[in-house]
Chain A
């Protein structure tokens, strides 16, 4: 079963507008973590933001915020005031495996964001 689902293969946004990238997840763990990574065309994976399953407040990091809705198992990334440099692939990931003694990140298929002038 798909653990992380990103239903938007591509998204377009105009510079300075806000954009929301969707992510839903599936886990039976009570304790887990959710991550967003950015992958520009150069290939490296850049960590953006993290949300723990017990965190009551939504995570924020500068222009990035994570809209965490635990009951709906969604962890959407919101980018405010988009910039041209935000054009990239964005991956949602979940840390799982707490109960097995070792943990790993499982990634979704990604959303390609294109920011236009």
Chain B
């Protein structure tokens, strides 16, 4: 079974440029998550999708970040960073159902903001 795929793995941009990270979850997984992991910290949830609907985006900085999951399969996280602190690894994860079970993570996309 193929795992969670993410691309690109690395991106270096300047402030106010934009980047899009792509995630393809494990086939059949209804729930998809984007986490932000700043160096030295644990992952922090940015947004959670159930199929193609958003169930939690309370910690997504909407002035700089947006995400979509059209057709309820793969997802794109778009960032137009204005802060050096947006430099982080962006982890995509999926799970087969909403209410429980482990999350399966991709290898992450590392963003460096100059």
Contact = CB atoms under 8 A, between A and B. Distances in A.
Contacts of A93: 42
A33 B97 CA distance: 15
Interface residues of B, number: 25
Interface in A1-53: 4, 33, 35, 37, 42-47, 50
Contacts, number: 53
A68 interface: no
Nearest to A48: B102
A104 B56 contact: yes
B108 A44 contact: yes
A48 to B, nearest CB: 9
A45 B93 CA distance: 9
Given A43-B107, A45-B91, A35 B102 contact: yes
B103 A105 contact: yes
Interface of B: 33, 40-45, 48, 50, 55-56, 89, 91, 93, 98-100, 102-108, 110
Contacts of B103: 45, 47, 105
A105 B45 contact: yes
Secondary structure at the A interface, as helix, strand, loop or mixed, is strand
Highest count of chain B CB atoms <10 Å: which of A45, A95, A103: A45
A44 B105 contact: yes
Given A50-B102, A105-B45, 7 more contacts: A95-B100, A98-B99, A104-B45, A106-B45, A108-B42, A109-B41, A109-B42
Given A33-B100, A43-B89, A44-B106, A102 B42 contact: no
Contacts of A35: 102
